Amino acid sequence: MSTAMEHAVARALHADAQVDVDVAGLRTAALARARRIRLRRRLVGSVVAVVALIAGIGVAATRYDGKPPAEQYTAPKTLPRLDAPGAALAPAKVATDPSLIHFDVDPKRLDATELTWRSGPDVESVAVRTADTDRYTVYVELARTRAALDGSGWGLDGAAPRPWYPPRPETGPWREQPAYSPEQLSGPDGYAVLVVPGAPDTVTRLPDPNGGDRARYSTTWSPVDGLWIQVEVASTGPEALVNAIEALRLDRSQACRVPGAVRTDLSWVECETSLARSWEYSTITFRGGDGALVDVMFGNFSVAQPFVSNRSIAGRQARAFTRQGGGPALELPGGKGRQLLVSDRTGRFPEETLTRLAEGFAFKGDANDIETWPARPVS
Q: Spell out the domain ranges in the chain.
A: 1-62+257-379, 65-255
Question: Which helix (H) or strand (E) covers residue 126, if one does?
Answer: strand 123-130
d(CA 298, CA 26): 37
Q: How confident is the model at residue 46, as a pLDDT? A: 26
Exposed / middle / buried, residue 300 (Cβ in 10 Å: 0-12, 13-18, 19+):
buried
DSSP calls for 228-275: EEEEEEEESSTHHHHHHHHTEESS-EEE---SEEE--SSEEEEEEEEE
d(CA 352, CA 358): 10
Taking a C-beta distance cutoff of 8 angstroms, is the pair 113, 122 a contact?
Answer: no
Q: How confident is the model at residue 72, as a pLDDT? A: 57
Q: How confident is the model at residue 207, as a pLDDT? A: 83
Backbone φ and ψ for 185, nearest 5 degrees, come out as -115, 10
d(CA 1, CA 18): 25
Q: How confident is the model at residue 210, as a pLDDT? A: 76
d(CA 124, CA 252): 13
Q: Evaluate if pTM is beyond 0.85.
A: no
d(CA 12, CA 9): 5
Peptide bond into 328 cis (omega under 30): no
Question: Which helix (H) or strand (E) covers residue 281, if one does?
Answer: strand 279-287
Longest dimension (CA), the chain: 66
Q: How confident is the model at residue 132, as a pLDDT? A: 85
Q: How confident is the model at residue 160, as a pLDDT? A: 38
d(CA 379, CA 10): 27
Taking a C-beta distance cutoff of 8 angstroms, is the pair 195, 179 a contact?
Answer: yes
pLDDT in tens, the chain (379 residues): 335 555 555 555 544 433 332 323 333 333 333 333 333 332 222 222 222 211 221 222 222 233 444 455 678 999 999 999 999 999 999 999 999 999 999 999 999 999 999 999 999 999 999 988 878 999 999 999 999 998 776 677 653 333 333 333 333 333 333 444 444 444 445 578 888 999 999 998 888 877 788 888 999 999 999 999 999 999 999 999 999 999 999 999 999 999 999 999 999 999 999 999 999 999 999 999 899 999 999 999 877 577 899 999 999 999 998 877 777 899 999 888 899 999 998 889 999 999 999 999 999 999 999 999 999 999 8
Q: How confident is the model at residue 10, as a pLDDT? A: 52
